[in-house]
Structure formats: structure tokens, C-alpha cells
């Protein structure tokens, strides 16, 4: 199959199959967190952990970890993956509260299930446990990488909230936001995978850069999917960014090209984005300026940079799978 024409979900499914032993152990580590949690937390964690996502971050970590000359230690890989996935899961619980989201992966969100106060604390507990999973990791830099990723993720989310509804948001600030809230965790997963593969520091740094480019592209595609652009069987609500006043890349490109009257009209529309029919009007105007295509091209540029680095990794099935993941990402529909 030509990776540039492959379906992302099919590629991801094949990648998960390639590293299924590590991923199965990762699930065991995550379920152990639920089993060992105190009463009142344990049952809620089992419910939360059943809402499994695509495991993109842990799959990428596993693929990179297996690119080395020697077989990666399955337990170390699984604990690192669990740390990444738990941190991601905690961030989603908190994101859904902030965004007042009703559904996640087709099911009720944590705060809709248990109330906001309990959901906040469940998210905190999962965040704490993400650090616990790597506390015995012999490579002491790995817990530090995960901790720093958590710092960056939280800082990115706060920066986004600080600029919610900011019609003058710059491209630079937008990049800082997505570097923190999305790219940092994929950067960390890639860096940790490279360390577990036994790569030297320059290659570890390159893998982290590769993960960052992939993460930025991933978020831009997410921004596009929120408008329904390219979406297929989307497992979350559309127009949540608009409803929450988030200014994402398509809008930045629109503002770059519009005249003052068009800007004024668009700003008015964004403030009314929760009203029926307004999102479609915004979409029509963005399409008219080619804003979606420009955002897609930016995502593609980051994917090309990630691909350049991926193609320098040691050859083998795992490297081929990383290349296929990156090549198919721009056309993912959910």
C-alpha cells in the first residue's frame, strides 16, 4: 500500500498490531492504576479507562523504541506509554470541564457523569498517577521529560484560555499554544521512545523534533475537523472551538487576507457562534478565502518535516510504519 494514499485509521491499526505486546502491557499498567486506587476512585477510573482513545502517542513511542539495534525492554516501554496515556487522559478530563463538553468518544464526559467537582479531582488523581508509572524508570531523565511535558501542556492550556476570544491573536501565539497543549506530549513520547531505543543524544533530539512537527500537524488537523473540514465519523462535537471563542489557524488565515469590513463582520459572527446557522456562515466565509486549504498546507509542511527525520531512522518495519503514520495523517477524518 502506498503510504501517501493509505487511510490513517488503517495505518494506525496496523501499527498497533505491530507493537501489540507493548500496548497490551500498557493497558495492564493503566488498569492496575484503577485496581489499586482507593474506594470511590477505583470504579470511576475503570469507567474512565474504558473510553480508550486511538493510542497515537503510545503507539508512536513503541514504534520508535523498537527502531534500535537491541530489543527494547517491554516493561519499561509499557510503563512509559502508560505515563503518556494517563497524562493525556487527565488533560482530556480537565479540557472537557473547561469546554463544557457533553460527549467524549461517543460517551458522557467525566463531569457530566460525576459532576464537576469530582471530575476535577479524578483528573488530578490520574495526572499524579501518570508520574507514578515512571518513578522506578532506571533512566532518570524519563520522569523529568514526562513532568516537563505536563508543565508545558498546562501552560499551553492556560495561554489558550488567556487568549480566548482574542481576535488579534498572532500566528506566534497560536504556535505557542499548540506547542504546549498538543505538540509537547507527542514530543515527549518520541523523545522517551528514542531513549528506550538506545539512540545517541543527537538522534534523541531529532526524534523529539519529529514528534513536535507531527504534534503541530495533528492539532491543525484537529482545528480543521472542528469545522467539519475533512471529517468522517467524528467522535466528538463539531464547532466547540467556535462556541468557546477559540481562534484557530483557519481564522488566522482569514484575518490575514480580509479587509477591515470583512474583519468586523467576522468578529461579530464569532461572538454569535453559538447561535443556529452562524457556524455554517463562518465556514462559507473561510472557504471563500481559502483559509482551510492554507491551514491544511501548513499541517502538510509540518508532516513533511517529520517525514524527513523519520526517514533517517534505522531501516525496518517499525520505521516504515512511522513513515506511513506521518504520510497518512493529513487525511485523517476523526
Cα(189)–Cα(84) distance, rounded to whole angstroms?
Answer: 7
Cell numbers given for 128:
499524579
Beta bridge partners of 104: 107
Residue, of 4 and 269, whose pLDDT is higher: 269
> Residue 49's CB: how many other CB atoms inside 10 A?
17
Cα(268)–Cα(119) distance, rounded to whole angstroms?
Answer: 34
What is the mean pLDDT of the segment spanning 114-140? 97
Cα(261)–Cα(257) distance, rounded to whole angstroms?
Answer: 12
What is the mean pLDDT of the segment spanning 263-274? 93
pLDDT, tens digit (0-9, with 9 covering 90-100), for 142-169? 999 999 999 999 999 999 999 999 999 9
For the chain, the residue count is: 334
Confidence of residue 105 (pLDDT cuts 50, 70, 90): confident
Structural class in CATH, domain 3-329: mainly alpha
Compute the C-alpha angle 5/10/14, nearest 5°.
115
Cell numbers given for 198:
538506545
Q: Which residues of 70-109 are buried (b: 16+ CB within 10 A; e: fewer)?
A: eebebebbbbbbbbbbbbbbbbbbbbbbebebeebeeeeb
Average model confidence (pLDDT) across the chain: 93
Residues with Cβ within 8 Å of 64's Cβ and at least 6 positions away in sequence, in order, are 190, 193, 194, 196, 197, 207, 313, 318, 322
Domain ranges of the chain: 3-329
Residue 5: what pLDDT? Answer: 46
What is the mean pLDDT of the segment spanning 34-45? 97
Cα(70)–Cα(146) distance, rounded to whole angstroms?
Answer: 24
pLDDT at 237 over 90: no
Q: Indicate yes or no: pTM above 0.75.
A: yes
> Residue 9's CB: how many other CB atoms inside 10 A?
15
Residue 51: what pLDDT? Answer: 85
Residue 235: what pLDDT? Answer: 56
Residue 104: what pLDDT? Answer: 83
pLDDT, tens digit (0-9, with 9 covering 90-100), for 280-331? 999 999 999 999 999 999 999 999 999 999 999 997 899 999 999 999 998 8
pLDDT at 333 over 80: no
Query: DSSP class of residue 1?
Result: -
Beta bridge partners of 103: 108
Residue 234: what pLDDT? Answer: 55
Cell numbers given for 100:
463544557
Amino acid at each position: 500500500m502506498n503510504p501517501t494514499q493509505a487511510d490513517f485509521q488503517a495505518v494506525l491499526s496496523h501499527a498497533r498490531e505491530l507493537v501489540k505486546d507493548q500496548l497490551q502491557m500498557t493497558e495492564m499498567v493503566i488498569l492496575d492504576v484503577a485496581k489499586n486506587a482507593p474506594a470511590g476512585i477505583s470504579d470511576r477510573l475503570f469507567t474512565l479507562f474504558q473510553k480508550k482513545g486511538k493510542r497515537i502517542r503510545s503507539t508512536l513511542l513503541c514504534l520508535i523504541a523498537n527502531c534500535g539495534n537491541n530489543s527494547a525492554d517491554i516493561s519499561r516501554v509499557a510503563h512509559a506509554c502508560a505515563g503518556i496515556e494517563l497524562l493525556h487522559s487527565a488533560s482530556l478530563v480537565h479540557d472537557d470541564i473547561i469546554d463544557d463538553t457533553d460527549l467524549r468518544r461517543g460517551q458522557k464526559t467525566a463531569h457530566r457523569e460525576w459532576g464537576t467537582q469530582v471530575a476535577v479531582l479524578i483528573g488530578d488523581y490520574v495526572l499524579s498517577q501518570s508520574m507514578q508509572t515512571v518513578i522506578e524508570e532506571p533512566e532518570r531523565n524519563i520522569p523529568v521529560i514526562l513532568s516537563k511535558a505536563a508543565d508545558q501542556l498546562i501552560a499551553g492550556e492556560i495561554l489558550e484560555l488567556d487568549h480566548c476570544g482574542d481576535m488579534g491573536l498572532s500566528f506566534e501565539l497560536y504556535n505557542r499554544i499548540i506547542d504546549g497543549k498538543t505538540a509537547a506530549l507527542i514530543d515527549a513520547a518520541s523523545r522517551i521512545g528514542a531513549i528506550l531505543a538506545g539512540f545517541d543524544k543527537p538522534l534523541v533530539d531529532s526524534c523529539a523534533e519529529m514528534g513536535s512537527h507531527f504534534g503541530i500537524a495533528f492539532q491543525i488537523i484537529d482545528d480543521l475537523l472542528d469545522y467539519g473540514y475533512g471529517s468522517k465519523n467524528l467522535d466528538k462535537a463539531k464547532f466547540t472551538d467556535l462556541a468557546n471563542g477559540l481562534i484557530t489557524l483557519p481564522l488566522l488565515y482569514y484575518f490575514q487576507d480580509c479587509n477591515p469590513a470583512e474583519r468586523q463582520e467576522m468578529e461579530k459572527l464569532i461572538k454569535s457562534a453559538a447561535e443556529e446557522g452562524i457556524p455554517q456562515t463562518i465556514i462559507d466565509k473561510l472557504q471563500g478565502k481559502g483559509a482551510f486549504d492554507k491551514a491544511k498546507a501548513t499541517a502538510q509542511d509540518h508532516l513533511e518535516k517529520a517525514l524527513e527525520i523519520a526517514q533517517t531512522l534505522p531501516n525496518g518495519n517499525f520505521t516504515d510504519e512511522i513513515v506511513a503514520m506521518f504520510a497518512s495523517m493529513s487525511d485523517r477524518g476523526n
